[in-house]
Amino acid sequence: MSDSFRCGYVALVGTPNTGKSTLMNALVGEKLSITAHRPQTTRHQILGIRNREDSQCIFIDTPGIHDDRSKAIHRYMNRAATSVLDDADLVCVLLDVRRIGAQDEKILRLVAKYDQLLLVLNKIDLVAREDCLPVLQRLGELLPGVEIVPVSALKRENLDTLEDLIVARLPPGRPFYASDQLTDRSMRFIAAEIVREKLFRSLDKELPYSITVNVDHYVEEPDLTRIAATIWVERKSQKAIVIGKGGRQLKKIGSQARADLEGLLQGKVYLQLWVKLREDWADDERSLAAFGYSDVEQGR
């Protein structure tokens, strides 16, 4: 390993739905963090490790920072997002080029004090080139001298440039993780997240926000992985919606999640899903801790 090897933590922060998880997955080259068209999809910090010959870049995907503090889970999510800032070697703020609002500006004021700071202007595939210019100018006025990188995480535009800029900002040092490790999260955790993603993408309105998923059994057999998971809802009426008429909704969620898991594990998966009720779990500290939403990370 050469003396010029670089290694460090890169926090990906921003308002909900700006493309943080999409960007981390694109940079690492694996789908580690779930994504959806709706805001507040990510609920935890998730590491994604990118190994190159010259560097190890440890990305930290975080929940979108938002003003909603109505439930305990929202407060947990905001803590999970902002607590990475002080320890990161580089802070990357994700912005949606189409709309930079008051909440984004609040985040920019919050991160202005960090020396190692990069603004990532995402979703440039959705606007004309000339529409980027006023946004770049406005950001330049808000945070003078801070580098801004326009990208499309989804279409993988300009990601090589972004990666090189990130690596150049990392401190010199040996790798913290083995070169074949992609994340700090367990397959159990990722399996639960994949089920949650399918629910987020299939269910309407507020229902996805009332749901959490827990893997109860995860057993690797020689030619099959057996996974049993519980989908927890907050209200009795929600249970019927998740299951759907004749169990059709649950079956659809199950087969979509199984297909993703089989791709990830490169083998057959038997997935069993249950739907259970725990009233108001999202606003109850004890339930949150039991479901893995606690500041002292458990079962990563």
CB of 279 to ligand GTP, least distance (A): 25
From the list ligand GTP, Mg ion, none, partner contacted by residue 238 (C-beta under 5 to 8 A by kind): none
Residue with tokens 């990370």: 297
Residue with tokens 């905001």: 78
Nearer to Mg ion, 15 or 21 (CB): 21
Nearer to ligand GTP, 6 or 31 (CB): 31
Residues 31-90 that bind Mg ion (CB under 5 A): 41-42
CB 94 within 8 A of CB 23: yes
Nearer to ligand GTP, 125 or 297 (CB): 125
Nearer to ligand GTP, 24 or 227 (CB): 24
**Range list of H helices, the chain:** 20-28, 72-82, 102-111, 129-142, 159-169, 187-202, 236-243, 248-265, 285-290
Q: Which window, 19-27, 161-169, 227-235, 248-256, contacts ligand GTP (CB under 6 A)?
A: 19-27
Nearest to 257, CA basis, from 298, 299, 215, 206: 215
Nearest to 53, CA basis, from 170, 165, 175: 175
- 91: tokens are 């802070």
- 122: tokens are 């995402």
The interface mask with ligand GTP, positions 64-103, x = CB under 6 A, is x---------------------------------------
Nearer to ligand GTP, 6 or 43 (CB): 43
- Binding residue for ligand GTP (CB under 6 A) from 8, 17, 195, 203? 17
Q: In what order do the strands lie in the sheet with 269-277?
A: 212-221, 224-233, 269-277
Q: Which window, 109-117, 147-155, 175-183, 193-201, contacts ligand GTP (CB under 6 A)?
A: 147-155
CB of 33 to ligand GTP, least distance (A): 7
Report strand pairing: 117-122 vs 90-96. parallel
212 near ligand GTP (CB under 6 A): no
**Contacting residues toward Mg ion, per CB under 5 A:** 20-21, 41-42
